[in-house]
A and B are shown apart, each in its own frame.
Chain A
Amino acid sequence: DTGVSQDPRHKITKRGQNVTFRCDPISEHNRLYWYRQTLGQGPEFLTYFQNEAQLEKSRLLSDRFSAERPKGSFSTLEIQRTEQGDSAMYLCASSTPPGTQNTEAFFGQGTRLTVV
């Protein structure tokens, strides 16, 4: 399968613990995005990368959140000192850069985080 891959699919953690999620984009896509989706809502933009550069961060991305894409391939999203309000589905997407013919984004299946 050459789609966007996210790991793990599910994560249950205790409040106050740190968690890290991984996203492997489609190999030729140099743009990578993180979104958060809570139950009954649409995905909300968190941040995106072009290659290894983090170009934009939402104000939703508090100081406890950090995302990296060190080699311009896979990306990690870390949440420190998790809170119950962090419980959500974390979605990763990737796309080709603007100027290419098709710039649609492909989403992974997400990581569902439950903070207890």
Chain B
Amino acid sequence: GENVEQHPSTLSVQEGDSAVIKCTYSDSASNYFPWYKQELGKGPQLIIDIRSNVGEKKDQRIAVTLNKTAKHFSLHITETQPEDSAVYFCAASDSGGYQKVTFGTGTKLQVIP
């Protein structure tokens, strides 16, 4: 089955700096890669996703890159704000859409004002 590894497990940045979270996956059949933000006491919330037919996608301060050859994908948050503080999860699926998704272990991001 799919295995998703995520690094780092914790990340502290100064407000305004950029944050980068990296993930690798094992199943070359995976073709859908969502990223989730989870705040304390809440369920995960989708913030951005990317499919295997594109290499990069951007939405305001958030961008995701995908390298299918290396089986790497990354989340980039620019101009970080205190409200970006949360746990971020990467995930992978081989269905082309949301089906059985395998999550990474999470990155706790702290943005220091």
Contacts and interface: CB of A to CB of B under 8 A. Distances in A.
Q: Do most interface residues of chain B lie in helix, strand or loop, or is the interface mixed?
A: loop
B113 interface: no
Interface of B: 4, 6, 34, 36, 41-46, 49, 89, 91, 95-106
Contact of A95 (B6, B36, B98): B98
A98 B98 CA distance: 8
A40 B106 contact: yes
B82 to A, nearest CB: 22
A95 B97 CA distance: 9
Interface string A101-112: 001111111100
A42 interface: yes
B100 A43 contact: no
A42 B97 contact: no
A26 interface: no
A113 interface: no
B103 A44 contact: yes
A91 interface: yes
Interface of A: 4, 31, 40-45, 48, 56, 91, 93, 95, 98, 103-110
A104 B98 contact: yes
A97 to B, nearest CB: 8
B105 A42 contact: yes
A13 B44 CA distance: 25
Given A104-B49, A106-B46, A109-B43, A45 B100 contact: yes
B90 to A, nearest CB: 9
Query: Which residue, of B42, B91, B97, B102, has the highest number of chain A Cβ atoms within 10 A?
Result: B97
